[in-house]
Structure formats: C-alpha cells, structure tokens
Amino acid sequence: MNNRKILVTGADGFIGSHLTEALVRAGHNVRAFVLYNSFNSWGWLDNCSADVKDKFEVFAGDIRDPNGVRAALKGCDAVLHLAALIAIPYSYHSPDTYVDTNIKGTLNVVQAARDLSVDKVIHTSTSEVYGTARFVPITEDHPLQGQSPYSASKIGADQIAMSFYNSFETPVTIVRPFNTYGPRQSARAVIPTIITQIASGKRKIKLGAIHPTRDFSFVADTVAGFIAALKSDQCIGEVFNLGSNFEISIGDTARLIAEAMGASVEIETDDERLRPEKSEVERLWADTSKALRLTGWQPQFGGREGFRRGLAITADWFRDPVNLKVYKADAYNI
C-alpha cells in the first residue's frame, strides 16, 4: 500500500487522528474524512503533531451522505472506516442516530468502495458486539449479542460490511478493537473520566459499576493493528480482535490510575452512570491469536505491566493544563 491513497473516515476522532498521523509518518498519501461543521473544525487534527501538519488532505463531509462518501473515496486505493457514534449511554435515548451513522454509514462506504473498485476496506467493529463473555478469552467465533442499541448497530454494520465481501467480493476486513484508551480519548470513556476527575483535584471519584472487567488496548497498539490489517494479504474476508490479552475490573483500573497519579481516592457509585442491568457487559477479555497469525500483530502494551505503561502515558497527557482544559471534569459526559 506504499504511496497509494488511503481514506480514513472518522479521522477527526480519538483513534482516527492517531491513525492518520501514523499513516502520514509511514509515508502514505492520506485523505482525512472529518465531520462537516460550521466551525471548520477538524477535531483532534486541528492540533495534530507538527511533523504531520499540512501533510494530509482533508475532506469535510458526513458519513450518512452517500454522495459525499463516494466523492471522498474517488481516487483512493483503500479506506479505513472508523467514523461512528460510539457512546453507549447516548444510544439509549437516540438509537435512530446510531442506525443512520453506524449501519447506513457503513453501507455508504462499502457501496462506494464496490462501485469504485477500492483495493481494501478496513471496517472498525468493537468488542461490545460480543456482549458479556460466554467464554474467555473471547475469540472471533464468540456469539454476537446486542446488549445496547450501540452494540446492535455495530453488529448490523459488521454484517453489512461482510455481506459485501460475500455477495460482491468487496475486499473487506473487519478489525475488532477491545477498549482502546490513550491521549485524546473522550471523557465519555471510563479511563479519561477517572483521570480528569483526579487531575482536576477530586478525590471522591464518581463512576458507574466497578465490578465489570475489560481488556484495555493502548491506542498505539490499536493503530498498529489497523496498519497491519492494511498491509496484510491474508485478512480479506476475515474478522480479528485487537486487545491486550489482559482482563481487569473497572475498580482495579481506577486504583491503578490513582497510583500512577500519586493520589489516594475514594470511589462513589453514581446511579446516573449505571447501565440498565441487562445492558451491562460484565466481562471482556480478548483472544488476539488470530491477529498474530494473519498479520504478525501483537500488543506492545499487553499484560498488567503494559497497562501500567499505557496509563502513565495517558495520565501525563491529560494532566497537561492545555489538554485538561478541553475536558469538563465536573460534568457527566454521555
């Protein structure tokens, strides 16, 4: 894929901005698809690293618009499709927007990719499609369970993407990251929620359920997984997980973060942050052996020690006053 044009949808977001920077550094010709807005904001790309600034093309549009998606894909050899609505609480009261963005948006991407004969389509899934683990570690053969409107919409998006591979031989690969964390992540996620509360001086930390377990993947590992999928000739028509092969509870995660930040904290349960009982995903733990087999990828921040290193990097970024001021630590961000 060297020197070929790559479209990144959702390039203005958390993972998408890191991925855009990594692709530019690797010498790729990148077109960054960002959500059109009247402020002409490119999201996190407005503050991209100096070494990549002005070295990528920007296309402002809306993933829900088939004409705009088709225009963005013209002249591209591959697309990394990350654009999505991802906040689970918001999906409880606005599920229609998740169908439009996640399912119809994905349809727009694969339809345009088919019509334009794009060489590779890397579609982004999520560990939430598995729901509460029926067995661990979770392989790609685990049943899919829609325990929230968000996860249901991502299951639908995954099925739309793979249906184009099965029906039309569109060269689709599905990458399924587990809980990615790192600099720039939205405060609607649990790790930034904890870090921003501590960094703003709070010692009573408000959280939802703290007993569920997660497999947290540092953003550099997730980005490397996407690039490995892009380069591999073995993963077309395949789905594979990206995770750290390490399971930890939300409560223990909060304690590790407090330790990394040199703070003593008390956790308070905030009922507003609790998911409905049957919607809570109780356990996630990734089996990443398929990714290793197909692409050679494996996490560099795996296990407890890798998680500690990733948390330290993340906490340092959030503690920078320039970055912290972007977040509203006093507000619950759904």
Residue 142 lies in a domain: yes
How distant, in Å, are the alpha carbons of 165, 220, 245 from that of 309?
Answer: 38, 12, 15
Radius of gyration of the chain (CA): 19
Q: Is residue 204 part of a domain?
A: yes
Residues 199 and 145 in one domain: no
- Provide the 3-class DSSP secondary structure of residue 25: helix
Beta carbons of 79 and 7 less than 8 angstroms apart: yes
The answer to the question of residue 330 being in a domain is no
Cα separation of 231 and 268, whole Å?
Answer: 45
The answer as to whether 271 is a domain residue is yes
Helices (H), the chain: 14-25, 66-73, 88-93, 95-98, 105-115, 149-168, 190-199, 219-231, 250-260, 289-295, 303-319, 321-324
What is the model's pLDDT at position 52? 97
State the Cα–Cα distance between residues 318 and 334, nearest whole angstrom: 19
Are 207 and 58 contained in the same domain?
Answer: no
**CA nearest 257: which of 267, 242, 247, 245?**
267
Coil, helix or strand at residue 41: coil
Q: What is the DSSP string of 170-223?
A: --EEEEEE-EEE-TT--TTSHHHHHHHHHHTT-SEEEES--S-EE-EEEHHHHH
Q: What is the mean pLDDT of the chain?
A: 96
Closest CA to 185 of 150, 218, 160, 231: 218
- Separation between Cα atoms, residue 334 and residue 322, nearest integer Å: 23
Q: Which residues contact 102 (CB under 8 A, 6 or more apart)?
A: 84, 85, 150, 153, 154, 156, 157
Residue 2, both tokens: 């060297």
Residues 254 and 199 in one domain: yes
Crossing angle of helices 303-319 and 190-199, rounded to 10° = 50
Residues 70 and 130 in one domain: yes
Q: Are residues 145 and 206 in the same domain?
A: no
166 and 42 co-located in one domain = yes
In this structure, the answer to whether residues 136 and 230 fall within a common structural domain is yes
Pairing relationship of beta strands 213-214 and 248-249 according to DSSP bridges:
antiparallel
Given this model, what pLDDT does residue 1 score? 56
Q: How high is the pLDDT of residue 333?
A: 80
Say which CATH number the domain at 257 has.
3.90.25.10
Same domain, 134 and 254: no
Catalytic residue among 150, 165, 181, 327: 150
* Chain length of the chain: 334
**How far, rounded to the nearest angstrom, does the alpha carbon of residue 86 sit from its chain's CA centroid?**
8
Is residue 150 part of the annotated active site? The answer reads yes
Same domain, yes or no: 258 and 203: yes
What residues in the chain have per-residue pLDDT under 50?
Answer: none
- Domain tally for the chain? 2
Name the residue type at position 31. R
Residue 241 lies in a domain: yes
Q: What per-residue confidence (pLDDT) applies to 330?
A: 83
Task: Tell me if 266 is assigned to some domain.
Answer: yes
Q: Determine the Cα–Cα distance for residues 65 and 108; give it in Å rounded to an integer.
A: 7
93 CB neighbour count, 10 Å cutoff: 9
Please give the residue range of the domain that contains residue 235.
5-179+218-245+287-295
The verdict on residue 332 lying in a domain is: no
Say yes or no: 47 and 15 in one domain: yes
pLDDT in tens, 216-247: 999 999 999 999 999 999 999 999 999 999 99
How far is Cα 20 from Cα 15, in angstroms, rounded to an integer? 9
Give the CATH number of the domain where residue 98 resides. 3.40.50.720
* Domain contains 228: yes
Same domain, 139 and 268: no
Predicted model pTM: 0.97
Same domain, 310 and 261: yes
